Amino acid sequence: MPRLTRPTLVRALLCAFVPTLAHAQQMPGMDMSQTPKDTMPGMTMSSGTLGAYAMTQDASGTAWQPASTPMQGLMWSSGGWSGMGHGYADLVYDHQSGPRGDDKTFSESMLMATAQHSAGPGTLTFKSMLSLDPAMGPYGYPLLLQTGETGNGTTPLTDRQHPHNLLMELAGVYAVPLAPASSAFLYVGFPGEPALGPATFMHRFSAQDDPAAPITHHWLDSTHITFGVVTAGVTHGPLKVEASLFNGREPDQHRWGFQPLRLDSWSTRVTLNPTRDLSFQVSYGHLHSPEQLTPDVNQRRLTASGTYNRAFTGGNWQTTLAWGQDRDSPGDGEPGAVLNAWLLESALAIGPHTIFARAETVQKNDLVTGSNAAAQVSETTLGYVYDIPVARHVALGLGIQGTVNYVPAPLRAAYGASDPTGVMPFLRLKIR
């Protein structure tokens, strides 16, 4: 077994951030959907990060997705290390209509890389994810009916999507085989993603081509960037059970650097992948003071989701159905709001063509300042992307999406007499 020495560790970290420095191979042409027969002991990059299963089953953090999901990115190997890299950069023109709408041209991006090496009886994996989203400014981009976090530390973001942080994940995972179909793992991140909710929307095939974040984001996967997380778990065949200690506070308006390390919240998640095409999860978490502007309010979050993926010659189809519930616990002892959200999204890719759709409905009580009354708001989105190869592992996508937002009568005075709409034409460079 190769020794884990300081020179090889330095090389791995460099390769994790600049995967093109090492020899790369295109992932879509490789069959990674079956679990290798010789992965115990000493799992390889053709196995999953947490155990001996198909690497295509890994999603964001320690989340799972269906094993038949296509893996888009570059594979590399060097000096006993192996890994992969994936990323995209979008240039988006955003038009949101109505009295609370706005226009903006912005860029959003993500670069993800991993490096893996045998270490003792198990496997060590380093994970990194970066974004240049802070360059769009602390107020993010216009997105009707979106809420959560702040752009200036004094007022909440409403009808806008916050930018993601420069550092979205810097984490390490150590997994040890327990039996031919079982393993134990420890995940440590600063920042990282706890075991709460489905795979983050940027990593779901059913959502990744939509340039707009879901308005259910803060009911399902908003904890995907937390400055301090420790997750321990076990896998046994199609089952994964895990628990996390993490920092419950959402990132503040300072998106370029690190934020205080805390482990004041907890969560647990059970995931079942009964077939290669299906993945289900149920999770529960207690978030300590998640919102900067309401520090005395804690939150309990319950989520459940299922994802179906179907790969076929020349294409792929994936659909995700998810439910989330946020239950606030104000510090004054009074009962807090109980708010529910539903999401249904799907993407169909055939050759260079991708069609995606999303439908959401969510109860929100923070769309109008001074009112705590919950309002049921909804939206439907339809979009299309056409990919043009521009280099060996890079494609240029030409896309557009349109959204219709539905607001109840009590919000008509704020949003206008007719249902407001949004449209986002965009260009995308993607590593594939």
Q: Are 174 and 122 in contact (CB under 8 A)?
A: yes
User: 73, 19, 25: which is closest to 432 by C-alpha?
Assistant: 73
> Is CATH 2.40.160.10 the right assignment for the domain spanning 15-76+83-431?
yes
User: 2, 45, 3: which is closest to 27 by C-alpha?
Assistant: 45
The distance of Cα 392 from the centroid of its chain, to the nearest Å, equals 26
The per-residue pLDDT for range 215-269, each reduced to its tens digit, is 999 999 999 999 999 999 999 999 999 999 999 999 999 999 999 999 999 999 9
What is the model's pLDDT at position 15?
42
Q: Rounded to 5 degrees, what are φ and ψ at 69? A: -60, 135
What is the model's pLDDT at position 146?
97
The per-residue pLDDT for range 62-109, each reduced to its tens digit, is 999 999 999 888 888 888 899 999 999 999 999 999 999 999 999 999
The domain limits of the chain are 15-76+83-431
The secondary element (H helix, E strand) that includes residue 380 is strand 375-391
The per-residue pLDDT for range 335-346, each reduced to its tens digit, is 889 999 999 999
Q: Rounded to 5 degrees, what are φ and ψ at 257? A: -130, -165
What is the model's pLDDT at position 17?
39
The secondary element (H helix, E strand) that includes residue 218 is helix 217-220
User: 81, 83, 53, 82: which is closest to 69 by C-alpha?
Assistant: 53
